[in-house]
Structure 1
Amino acid sequence: MQTLTTEATQLPTLTHTRNPGMALDLDWVAGVQANTSAIERRAGTIGGRRSVKKDFQAAWLLKAISLIDLTTLSGDDTEGRVKRLCAKARQPVAPWMLEKLGLPGLTTGAVCVYHEMVATAVRAVEGSNIPVAAVSTGFPAGLSPFRLRIAEIGESVRAGAQEIDIVISRRHVLTGNWQALYDEMREMRAACGDAHVKAILATGELATLRNVARASLVCMMAGADFIKTSTGKEGVNATLPVTLTMIRAIRDYQDRTGIKVGYKPAGGISKAKDALLYMALMKDELGHPWLQPDLFRFGASSLLGDIERQLEHHLTGHYSAANRHAMG
């Protein structure tokens, strides 16, 4: 087990060149298409083509923990809840299990909170090397005045957030105003400074996979370090067809520029078996580097509890009640 999981404790610090972006290439954007039936057919095969069992499954699940942005984004968030979230991020699985699995230092990839809770989270993870991510720019709708969205990014960075999850203006995608989307994303990227920026596309509100592909490409051209599916607040969040569309855009961008861009599916990923499907798809399409936390994250909360249950079953042969693996 230990030889299978030695990389699971790698820190999420970027080990490659950040995405500097490029000039907007409207010809490239216009040429992007998405064959929906082919994408859905390919996504539908992943569960039957990739399966890991026993020690290998446990190793993949430990890796999945290191890829989680452990998240709380509720209107009733309190400092106490955020502190418990951060404690769970620092110790995501019962110590006795991690000792048996050979990874006593395992943590999640990050914690993700609203701006108001950034300072609390930064204090709670101090000394752990776990970055704090802040959702910003009028999350989740992204409809507040633009100057306030930019100011919000700056406030979160000054409060200690090392990653900023911004939301794009969906109307720019739906009306095909790629220049406006590019300019918006470029200014948001600049406002983040040294903080890494994840562009949330809210794919469930973009109408077509072609729109998803084009929006992904424009955000990368504008300098997004990650592209992310959803806020978690839409009616439809992360799906395998959307994931396939976005990661193929990432591959095309790397082929053209040589720059690696990360990917974050978010919303609705709550079961360990689902995490394994996403990881298998990433490995198939983009290769091993995209199974590291500097290039792949899950935006999730309840996912961690199910993974912990599966690991306990692996070690003991018994499933425990879900309430024994609470967030904190």
Structure 2
Amino acid sequence: MQTLTKTSTTADQLPQVHEQRNDGIPLDLEWVKAVQANTSAIERRAATLPGRRSVKKDYQAAWLCKAISVMDLTTLSGDDTQDRVKRLCAKAKQPVSPALLAQLGMEGLTTGAVCVYHDMVETAVKALDGTSIPVAAVSTGFPAGLSPFHLRIQEIRESVDAGASEIDIVISRRHVLNGNWQALYDEMAEMREACGDAHIKAILATGELGTLRNVARASLVCMMAGADFIKTSTGKETVNATLPVTLTMIRAIRAYQERTGIKVGYKPAGGISKAKDALVYLAMIKDELGDRWLQPDLFRFGASSLLGDIERQLEHHVTGAYSAQHRHPIG
């Protein structure tokens, strides 16, 4: 087995360290209303990708290490405790056993971030002190986003004050379903302002938006309002990240970059639990947006159980045998 080449550096773990931040643009309703989505073509393209893009052996192991480096290791449960979050942060710092990483030549590999509820931000920040791993907080009445707006704004500010360097907000789905793009833009812009220097990921909850056209338009409006990332889901919806939704959103990102010159990040979340699925998403990003989007400042997986399956695949690559799932706990 050949030693892999490291694909990330310490600087790569920081949010948006390489690119100009998206300050947004005035709402362009003509552009928004002109956006369409050819659902059948998008679904056909998404369905054929897994069979046309595959990597094996050392190449597969390298791509799986890349997937770890862009992972937002997440715990968003009602029974979260400080000890659980501390264990999660330890896992983020050492996501794969040191011996296995040494055999792969990937010492120092970490996840892209740790994502927690607001109440656990301070605990996570302390646990990650001395590392370059950012803490992301889910805010604004996550996951429904139906709390009073002034409380959602205050929650953002308190998460930033607690030390979160990334804020995952949820949009009001009703604005999309009603076609009220001005309201969505104004809401997003105010949330962006409340984040200050912290980077903002706009969660669209795509499974609740009805159509791919709505997904495309909502993606564009959130970017116009200054989103640093657009994200598929809270992970709590019935339907979360899918390949058709991903293709729709990253093509909106590409259109925005072509029009403005600004690169916006993308985060699929919810339902991505297998290593083979992560490889398909990475292949789609590479095909549609290019290699630059394969870095943590422009791409993240929102995941928890995904890491365990990737560990098993890497161990199989090194030893030729699969280990039991319970040997790779999150914490």
Q: Give 1:2 shift.
A: 4.6
* Contact 1:8–1:63, Cα closer than 8 Å, also in 2: no
* Contact 2:13–2:113, Cα closer than 8 Å, also in 1: no
Instruction: Work out which of the residue numbers 168, 181, 186 in structure 2 matches 1:183.
Output: 186
Q: Give 1:8 shift.
A: 6.3
1:291 maps to 2:256: no
The equivalent of 2:98 in structure 1 is 95
Determine the C-alpha separation between the residues in 2 that align with 1:98 and 1:57: 15
Determine the C-alpha separation between the residues in 2 that align with 1:203 and 1:177: 16
- 1:173-322 aligned at under 5 Å gives the runs 173-322=176-325
* Corresponding residue SS for 1:198: strand
Determine the C-alpha separation between the residues in 2 that align with 1:124 and 1:4: 29
* Contact 2:13–2:134, Cα closer than 8 Å, also in 1: no
**CA displacement, residues 76-130 of structure 1 (integer Å, 9 cap, x when unaligned):** 0000000000000000001100111111101000000000000000000001110
Q: Give 1:3 shift.
A: 5.4
* Corresponding residue SS for 1:5: coil
The equivalent of 1:327 in structure 2 is 330
**CA displacement, residues 227-269 of structure 1 (integer Å, 9 cap, x when unaligned):** 0000000000000000000000000000000000000000000
Q: Give 1:11 shift.
A: 2.0
Determine the C-alpha separation between the residues in 2 that align with 1:49 and 1:254: 27
RMSD: 0.9
**CA displacement, residues 247-294 of structure 1 (integer Å, 9 cap, x when unaligned):** 000000000000000000000000000000000000000000111000
TM-score normalized by the length of structure 2: 0.98
- 1:16-27 aligned at under 5 Å gives the runs 16-27=19-30
Report the residue type matching 2:311 in the other structure: E
The equivalent of 2:15 in structure 1 is 13
The equivalent of 1:165 in structure 2 is 168
* Corresponding residue SS for 2:6: helix
Report the residue type matching 2:14 in the other structure: P
Report the residue type matching 2:183 in the other structure: A
* Corresponding residue SS for 1:194: coil
Report the residue type matching 2:152 in the other structure: R
Q: Residues 64 and 8 (structure 1 numbering): CA distance in 2 closer, same or farther, change over 3 Å? A: farther
The equivalent of 1:74 in structure 2 is 77
* Corresponding residue SS for 1:22: coil
**CA displacement, residues 39-86 of structure 1 (integer Å, 9 cap, x when unaligned):** 000001111111100000000000000010000000000000000000
TM-score normalized by the length of structure 1: 0.99
Instruction: Work out which of the residue numbers 34, 52, 55 in structure 1 matches 2:58.
Output: 55
Q: Give 1:13 shift.
A: 3.3
The equivalent of 2:131 in structure 1 is 128
Report the residue type matching 2:113 in the other structure: A
Determine the C-alpha separation between the residues in 1 that align with 2:195 and 2:75: 21
Determine the C-alpha separation between the residues in 2 that align with 1:65 and 1:12: 15
Determine the C-alpha separation between the residues in 2 that align with 1:62 and 1:8: 13
Determine the C-alpha separation between the residues in 2 that align with 1:294 and 1:117: 23
**CA displacement, residues 271-325 of structure 1 (integer Å, 9 cap, x when unaligned):** 0000000000000000001110000000000000000000000000000000000
Report the residue type matching 1:70 in the other structure: L
The equivalent of 1:4 in structure 2 is 5
Q: Which consecutive residues of structure 2, in runs of 5 or more, have no partner in the other structure?
A: none
Report % sequence identity.
79
* Contact 1:137–1:167, Cα closer than 8 Å, also in 2: yes
Moved more, 11-20 or 316-325: 11-20
* Contact 1:118–1:159, Cα closer than 8 Å, also in 2: yes
Q: Which consecutive residues of structure 1, in runs of 5 or more, have no partner in the other structure?
A: none
* Contact 1:4–1:56, Cα closer than 8 Å, also in 2: no
List, as ranges, runs of 4+ consecutive aligned residues in structure 1 with deviation greater than 6 Å.
Answer: none
* Corresponding residue SS for 1:230: coil
Determine the C-alpha separation between the residues in 1 that align with 2:143 and 2:189: 19
Report the residue type matching 2:223 in the other structure: M
The equivalent of 2:121 in structure 1 is 118
- 1:142-157 aligned at under 5 Å gives the runs 142-157=145-160
* Contact 2:5–2:106, Cα closer than 8 Å, also in 1: no
